Structure 1
Amino acid sequence: MNDPRRIARLAGALWLVVIAVSVVAVLTQTGQPRLAFAATQFGGLCYLGVTVLLYALFKPVDTSVSLFAAACGVAGVASGAASDVSASAAAQGFYVSMVFFGSQIVAVGYLITRSNLIPRALGVLLILGGSSYLVNSFMNFLSPTVGAHLAPFVIPIAILGEGSLTLWLLIRGVKVP
């Protein structure tokens, strides 16, 4: 698959699946922890697909940054899965995975701003969302109380960036030179 439009749309579709199963995981974590665990793992698997597709899409823009973003995506999925296995470390493990995920999102946002494939504004929104993940994660490492107060601000910022990109990839795809 070498068509950037198909790659973009498939990445958007997989990302939408990730968002949907993440909602399922959050809503079922207390009452149905096994379903939440399964949804989280399925989401991680789908996100690996997103990571590979975004790498392929942005490799022509900057190979090094695209590879860095992909490595962060893989590390984030792996550390998230590892934290799910160890329930006692799940909270800290989640924030470790969000450091990698946030780094990947910032890197992909940067790649968008440097390319002509997707509007730069979407890249800026992604950078803001990824940065909010990073700030929230490090605040949770340093002071979980402060981190808990930041969470209501992080989610809308992140959803704006990720949601906008997801919809753009699904509906518009990318401009092909």
Structure 2
Amino acid sequence: MAMQQRTGRLAGAVYLVVIATGIFSLAYVPSRISVGDDPAATLANVTAQAGLFRAGIAAFALEQIAFLLLPLLLYRVFAAAHRPAATLMVALAVTGVPIALAALAHRLDAVNLLTDPALARVLAAGQLQMLAMAALKSWSSHIFLASMFWGLWLLPFGWLVWRTRAIPRALGVLLMLGGVGYLLNVFGELLIPGYAATVLSDYATLPASLGEIGSGLWLALFGARASMAGPPPPASALSRRERP
């Protein structure tokens, strides 16, 4: 029990690192850099705020390192209760990391194209801007694909929370709803014209945000409770209990 609580608290601390760096790199930095449908203004902001843009890159790299550790720690919390689901959780979470790191390389390419003096001496400004915009588009495409796995891993994770009650069941429900929301956004944008402008697109992943922040805080503060749905005891133990 004490070991599970310590592992849970460590997982919660790592989860909070994932959340904080994710908010900074995927929400705050884009809010300061991206200008809707104005690519020229976006590129100008990348150049003018190159330090902030690079800080976003560093934060996202740290997030991915933490996100590699997180499912492994959660596996130690949940594997005794249902090993196949815990293994699936790890596999789905880890699969998104290489896609996200490939995206990060494109983001780094964009800022280097716009700020490297050596490149400015051999390529025209228009060429550099075109290549930088192509790099940012590739970043967006890779993140779009990675978000599918950001949703998929929440489904077994949320189910394990619900089954084991290691943390409040309400958080498990939010995690599963959030996983569905990620998938709705991915396939909605792929298949439904104009889906990105709908209200559903704006709020589909809100349960994931609430569930992940809540799970990270709960685990960091309280750790993981002992599983209430672990494997059944061996037959010998049952027979001993039944003896008068």
The normalised TM-score by structure 2 is 0.67
- Alpha-carbon displacement from aligned partner over 1:34-64 (angstroms, at most 9, x marks no partner): 1111111110101111111011111112111
After TM superposition, the runs of 4+ consecutive aligned structure 1 residues lying more than 6 A away are none
Residue identity opposite 1:21 in structure 2: T
Query: Cα RMSD between the aligned structures?
Result: 1.8
| SS of equivalent to 1:175 | coil
Q: Which one of 162, 167, 174 corresponds to residue 212 of structure 2?
A: 162
Match of 1:4 in 2: 4
Match of 2:104 in 1: 84
Mapped to 2, the partners of 1:122 and 1:171 lie a distance apart of 15
Matches within 5 A, 1:123-138: 123-138=172-187
1:34 aligned onto 2:28? no
Match of 2:190 in 1: 141
Q: Which one of 202, 219, 225 corresponds to residue 175 of structure 1?
A: 225
Cα shift at 1:66: 0.8
Match of 1:63 in 2: 83
The normalised TM-score by structure 1 is 0.90
Cα shift at 1:144: 6.8
- Which stretch shows the higher mean deviation, 134-143 or 73-82? 134-143
Residue identity opposite 2:61 in structure 1: Q
Mapped to 1, the partners of 2:103 and 2:88 lie a distance apart of 22
Contact 1:92-1:141 within 8 A present in 2 as well: no
Match of 1:51 in 2: 71
Gaps of 5+ in 2: 34-48, 107-134, 228-244
Match of 2:169 in 1: 120
- Alpha-carbon displacement from aligned partner over 1:69-125 (angstroms, at most 9, x marks no partner): 101111112211112223332222112111111110111001111113222222111
Cα shift at 1:151: 3.8
Mapped to 2, the partners of 1:52 and 1:82 lie a distance apart of 22
1:12–1:156 CA distance, 2 compared to 1 (3 A):
same
| SS of equivalent to 2:203 | helix
Cα shift at 1:143: 4.2
Contact 2:179-2:205 within 8 A present in 1 as well: no
Contact 2:71-2:90 within 8 A present in 1 as well: yes
Mapped to 1, the partners of 2:73 and 2:213 lie a distance apart of 17
Look at both structures and tell me which one has the larger radius of gyration over its CA atoms.
Answer: 2
Identity percentage over the alignment? 33
1:93 aligned onto 2:142? yes
Mapped to 1, the partners of 2:141 and 2:187 lie a distance apart of 10
Gaps of 5+ in 1: none
Cα shift at 1:165: 1.0
Cα shift at 1:164: 1.4
Contact 1:140-1:148 within 8 A present in 2 as well: no
Residue identity opposite 1:93 in structure 2: H
Mapped to 2, the partners of 1:78 and 1:151 lie a distance apart of 25
